[in-house]
Amino acid sequence: MKILIKRYYYHFLNKSRYLFNNYFGKYKYTFGMDWFYKSEIYQNVKYLLDHKNKLEILEIGSFEGLSTTYFIDNFLSKPNSKITVVDPFLLHSENDHITILDKIQIRNFFFNISKSAYPNKVQYLGLTSDQFFDFNKNKYNFIYIDGMHTKEQIPKDIINSWESLSKDGIIWMDDYLGDHGKLKNTFDKTLESLKGEHQVIHRGYQIAIKKLG
């Protein structure tokens, strides 16, 4: 009840249009935007990852944690499985304007994680992906790149993720056909330049590759 009152309060305070419906909707999570449940990764990831194996997942760009909570609830049941989430909570508009996410969106992230099956298996880092890769030495089985979707950032995120990917690991990337197809060439050229073998395992609005042995 206390949480409900809090949700009403934030709803009115922030005029978050969708929060009301979604709170009482089909999901247990609170969110204002749904980029995830309509996405190709949501349709496919259950066929690619096996929760019976130990999994280390890296997510670049979590927003309110919808994709994050899906990964937690469905793939982290093994004791040592975990997810690292990298998000500075900054949004970039087309004219290079940078704004911090609304307070309600940041609160939704932490609220949603707390409601997930394994909040203690989440490492949240309030960093840009560049800052994270500067020190990261871990390897991941699955990396979801859904952070800053610009021509400058996409190659850096792909190459850094490739270096942090285990053998047989998968990188799933959002916005391959984003910005009316203007980003596709950047993705294609970067993927061609990767050292070592990979196989494209999905190509649609999003694209995914697997690291071969």
Ligand X SMILES: C[S@@+](CC[C@H](N)C(=O)[O-])C[C@H]1O[C@@H](n2cnc3c(N)ncnc32)[C@H](O)[C@@H]1O
Is residue 143 within 8 Å of residue 165, measured between CB atoms? yes
Q: Which is nearer to ligand X, 56 or 146 (CB)?
A: 146
91 near ligand X, rule: CB under 6 A: yes
Determine the interface stretch with ligand X among 2-10, 16-24, 144-152, 204-212 (rule: CB under 6 A): 144-152
Give the contacts of 146 (CB within 8 A, at least 6 positions apart).
35, 59, 60, 61, 62, 67, 173, 174, 175
Please give the Cα distance from 108 to 2 (Å, whole number): 15
Question: Where are the strands (E) in 11-161, listed by range?
Answer: 56-60, 82-86, 90-92, 98-100, 122-125, 140-145
Q: Which is nearer to ligand X, 34 or 197 (CB)?
A: 34
27 near ligand X, rule: CB under 6 A: no
Determine the interface stretch with ligand X among 22-30, 45-53, 82-90, 189-197 (rule: CB under 6 A): 82-90
Q: Min. distance of Cβ 96 from ligand X in angstroms?
A: 12
Is residue 81 within 8 Å of residue 37, measured between CB atoms? no
Binding mask 31-70 for ligand X (x = CB under 6 A): ----xx-----------------------xxxx--xx---
Point out which residues bind ligand X (CB under 6 A): 35-36, 60-63, 66-67, 86-91, 101, 128-129, 146-148
